């Protein structure tokens, strides 16, 4: 990482740590804020957090990998989840997932190169009557159809 970029990154992490008075008991919240800032947890931020809180790097890593909301790899600005629960599955969720994968050029679990979207799948989100469901940034889009997928993404770009 270039020096200037590293300095910027350290400054942002410092500011987050200050918000929590460098309290190591707030490690999860601190990592969540770092994740919000960078859309993922760059390795350098974990080192910075570890050194400043005096928490072993291995501990920081184990927290970072334990919580699903935290990610060590870059995530897109928008998170798309396709429900593959039974009710959505029987209503064509797999076809919708395949269409999204084709349109975005990524597989489930991946992020587009421009960091626009990260694609994932979930099991039943408790809104089966609306299936098949695609969730974008927590917003439910029910009765999804393959030919509605493109317009959906365009509304997020
Ligand atoms: S199976 Fe998709 S919401 Fe229940």
Q: How much distance in Å is there from the Cα of 154 to the middle of ligand 1?
A: 24
- The pLDDT-based confidence of 3 (bands split at 50, 70, 90) is confident
**Mean pLDDT throughout 80-99?**
97
Q: Does the beta carbon of 125 sit less than 6 angstroms from any atom of ligand 1?
A: yes
83 lines ligand 1 (CB under 6 A): yes
Contact 131/91 with Cβ under 8 angstroms?
Answer: yes
Q: What is the 3-state secondary structure (H, E, C) of 20-42?
A: CCCCHHHHHHHHHHHHHHHCCCC
Residues of the chain with pLDDT > 70, as a percent, come to 100
Q: Is the pLDDT of residue 22 over 80?
A: yes
Summarize pLDDT for 107-122 with one digit per residue, the tens: 998 999 998 999 999 9
Q: 135 CB less than 6 Å from ligand 1?
A: no
- Rounded to an integer, the average pLDDT of 47-56 is 96
What is the total residue count of the chain?
Answer: 157
pLDDT tens profile 61-89: 999 999 878 989 888 889 999 999 999 99
């Amino acid at each position: 990482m270039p020096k200037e970029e590293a300095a910027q990154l350290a400054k942002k992490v410092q500011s987050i740590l200050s918000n929590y008075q460098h309290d190591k008991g707030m490690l999860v919240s601190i990592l969540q804020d770092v994740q919000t800032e960078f859309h993922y947890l760059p390795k350098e931020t974990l080192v910075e957090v570890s050194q400043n809180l005096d928490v072993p790097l291995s501990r920081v890593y184990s927290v970072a990998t334990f919580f699903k909301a935290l990610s060590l790899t870059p995530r897109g600005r928008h998170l798309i989840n396709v429900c593959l629960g039974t009710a959505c599955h029987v209503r064509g969720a797999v076809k919708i997932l395949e269409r999204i994968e084709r349109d975005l050029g990524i597989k489930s679990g991946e992020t587009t190169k421009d960091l626009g979207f990260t694609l994932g799948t979930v099991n039943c989100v408790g809104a089966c009557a609306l299936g098949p469901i695609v969730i974008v940034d927590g917003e439910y889009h029910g009765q999804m159809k393959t030919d509605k997928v493109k317009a959906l993404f365009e509304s997020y770009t």
